[in-house]
Structure 1
Amino acid sequence: MQGYRYSYAGIRVGRYIKRNIQKGVKMIGSIFTLARMYIKQYSIYKSNYILFTINRLVEGLVYIFVWLAIYNQTGNAEGFTLNEIVIYYVLVIILIPITTWGINEEMSHSIRNGKINKELLAPLSYFKYYFGLNLGEIGFGALVGVSAGIISCFIWQVNISISLVNLISFIVVVLLGIPVTFFLQMIVGTAGFYTNSIWGMQILRKSIVYIFSGLIAPLTFFPRMVSKTNKYITI
């Protein structure tokens, strides 16, 4: 009798686990479907991709030309060689769309115009819905960033040598950063309940990300206080 009871309990636990796995797979499928739809929405006009890529290239060129001028004047910058700085900003060109693009503006506008009422009644939860849209935004941003980075490598004749382990580590770190940037997007997006200055909040968020993630310049160029602060936050 006791063995039968244990067997029945095991069957129930197995069914419970199976049911939750199926729910999880279905939820992930819905999120990725939203992401694909968002990417397709961007891809309707090829000019979106072209113009965003050109924008990234121009921004990267400005950074690199500034550092070229600095090296022509000083010949050194905190121990970095010119080639290292160029490689650094090629990586910045790739990462800027991934780290700074997001759904906070769309979320804020949906709050201001009342669209949030429909979103809260949708079958997919509000959080999961915007996480799916955010993945689509980042996916398109990654496509733009990688394209701009490859073109920059040809322009500056940069040869980035990286081991497979370092490449995998880099990809893992970027993937782990996606939830962090999403929560920042949520914080700024929900500020639409309290302020009309959505654009101002967006600029503030980007400024914080640019400084503490090293997108403007390597963190060694900033005061030690910035480096110490960066140890306790993850951006």
Structure 2
Amino acid sequence: MSLTLVIFDVDGTLVDSQAQITASMQGAFVAEGLKPPSRAAVLTIVGLSLPQAIAQLAPGQGAATVARLVEGYKDHYTHLRANDPQAGGSPLFPGAREALERLAQRDEVLLGVATGKSRRGLTHVIETHDLAHFFLTTQVADDHPSKPHPSMIQACMAATGAEAARTVMVGDTSFDMEMGRAAGVRCLGVDWGYHPRVQLQAAGAERILDDFAALDAALDEMWEIA
């Protein structure tokens, strides 16, 4: 029996964090006296590590300003999570838990996470939704270069002993697909997240899911032809 590894992105793939990400980013810019980015602009950078994301949204700003925006984003994010349940929540996408439960029941399947979130942010999501028992390895932005660098996927494979040919990266952004390709693994996109299908395909997605119900069959087909 060959071990197979499925690595999930978090924001836009497992959880819908759009409201708190956009509100936190816009709040950070306003606090710094800068024009806040549009919702559409914010969604283009979801998946990158925070300093890289903010640098893209604030071109021409110096390192000190970017650093203050990073801290401002973190402060707004924490405040929303604590004081505004509607904006601060990150609900699981429909079918996400059921898909994780199905995969976790398969002896040959191992599950991991590769996310642009901080360790604190991922821990909050995992504790809120009781997901800790699903994942054998969780890799976060605190410990790695930003996506699309392959470091997080490489760490997931090293931690589990999985081979690249038997590993699939599941994500909603071109950064996830590019990271997967850089690591030499299979790439599976989802169309309910933050980047459109055409962008996922251009970045290397072999398949794109319309819902979580189709995940198992897509994975089996990918592993069969690996």
Q: Does TM, normalized by the shorter one, top 0.5?
A: no
Larger Rg: 1
TM-score by length of structure 1 reads: 0.26
TM-score (norm 2): 0.27
The structure richer in helix per residue is 1
